[in-house]
Amino acid sequence: MTTKQKTGKTKDLKGLKEVQEHYLDYPYPLRNPEDDKTRILKIYGDYLGEINHWLFDGKKDFKKGFRVLIAGGGTGDSTVYLAEQLKDTDAEVIYLDFSKNSMAIAQKRAEYRGLTNITWIHDSILNIPALKLGKFDYITCTGVLHHLESPDDGLKVLADSLTDDGGMGIMVYAQYGRTGVYQMQDMLRMVNEGITSRQEEVKNGWAVVNALPNTNWYKRGGAELSGDLGPYGDVGMYDMFLHKQDRAYTVPQLYEFVEKAGLNFVEYNSAYSRVMLKPETYFQDPEFLKKIKAMDKWKQQAVCEIMCGSIVKHSFYVSKKKNTIAKITDLDNVLYIYIIHDIPLKIADHIKINQSRIGSSIGFSFKSDDIPEVSISIPVSHYTEHLFRNMISGDKSLGEIHKAIEKDLGKKVSDSEFLDELNRIFPVLEEVGVFLQRNKKINIAQFC
């Protein structure tokens, strides 16, 4: 493997040493490099198509000088996925983590994938200014900032490392959905008082978890909270219940966190969060919905976060710029499929069979090996079948689709009619995360 390695001097900050030792003993997330010989693990939010759609107006050319930083790369999920997508370009992929053991696993995974486009740096993200790495177009930082003594300082360091039009994908914990987790952490601090052995802490953790009654708040949280505990074993136990530096955010705290770093909140990169933080998901009464929708967006989402109760992570995009999302009014954009590639054909055929439903909404459900079932409701007009049928190839611009619809129908379709059709349909498709936009000139592989 011809990847490079670089080492800087880590600042000795309070709490950093204990967290570092944690990840030396329990590299996270638990990964077997052998698995990478036969599969590529998809990391949602780090697909180039998503990054382009949400952060670069659909116009980023990843083949020319694109620079990526994986800040807190752990055992290599985002590093391997991004490096794989960028391996035939001149892009720079920089991995940074303060756990040598985590980095060793990530390096072995990259070696098995034959990836030679990664620079490996063993250091803390807090020491980035001293490393003089330059500016990055995209930074991904998952599950790191909430383990720093000062997450604000960490995010500011990353913000200062972005190019003027650069953006980030970030994940931090969500407060309300992890209520049961923090109760368990409080309890285990009492149980493990005076214990210095990490292994004994874990042993006691399992003794407690195995004895939990069904009335326990964590146990009542079900699958949303159980996450890492089953498949990750002791590694998951320590990371979830025994972590020595762990905080979470409510929606208002999240927006304040982003604003203090001089960044703009773009959107959640989780389809689940986009749907569950939308007032229409809960409120059907038109007058009451109107009242909620009159609030600022962050306040609407704050209401919905408490309504939902099961959001355990905030996974989202931020940018140095405002208005970075690809626009449906740009007729040079291609509207293409992410994850479930036969959606346009299924929708077009369904509408053709149900012609009597034109003028109303039709519900569709889709499922794949990668995501749970997706349900959408699409308002159907005389144009809708032709819109989806002309999307099947995945390479027609919206302007080309407009002309194709006119040809199919044998009549003129005004610009306003066509844009009305797009505005009726696309927001729903964008929200559930299976449709993206890119400029016609930008070629992004269907790497999903």
Residue 234 structure tokens: 């002791």
pLDDT in tens, 16-66: 778 888 888 888 899 999 999 999 999 989 999 999 999 999 999 998 899
| Angle of the 251-260 helix axis to the 151-159 helix axis, nearest 10 | 50
Average pLDDT in the 186-215 region? 95
pLDDT above 90 for 227? no
**Buried b / exposed e along 93-125 (16+ C-beta atoms within 10 A):** bbbbbbbeebbbbbbbbbebbebebbebbbbbb
The model's pLDDT over 86-108, given as tens digits with 9 standing for 90+, comes to 999 999 999 999 999 999 999 99
Mean pLDDT of 336-340: 75
Tell how many helices (H) and how many strands (E) occur in the chain.
19, 12
**Residue 279 pLDDT > 90:** yes
Local confidence band at 396 (pLDDT 50, 70, 90 cut-offs): very high
Sign of the Cα pseudo-torsion (416, 418, 420, 423, in order): negative
Least confident segment among 3-17, 341-355, 369-383, 406-420: 3-17
pLDDT confidence bin for 314, thresholds 50/70/90: very high
The CATH architecture one would assign to domain 4-175+248-319 is: 3-Layer(aba) Sandwich (3.40)
Cis omega before residue 344 (within 30°)? no
pLDDT digits over 350-386, tens only?
Answer: 888 877 677 788 887 766 555 556 677 888 888 999 9
pLDDT score, position 327 = 95
Least Cα distance to 56 among 410, 441, 338 occurs for 441
Instruction: Record the pTM.
Output: 0.92
Please say if the pLDDT value at position 446 is more than 80.
no
Q: What radius of gyration, in Å, describes the C-alpha atoms of the chain?
A: 23
| pLDDT exceeds cutoff 50 at 156 | yes
Q: Where are the domains of the chain?
A: 4-175+248-319, 176-241, 333-439
Which stretches within 286-329 are classed as H helix?
286-293, 297-308
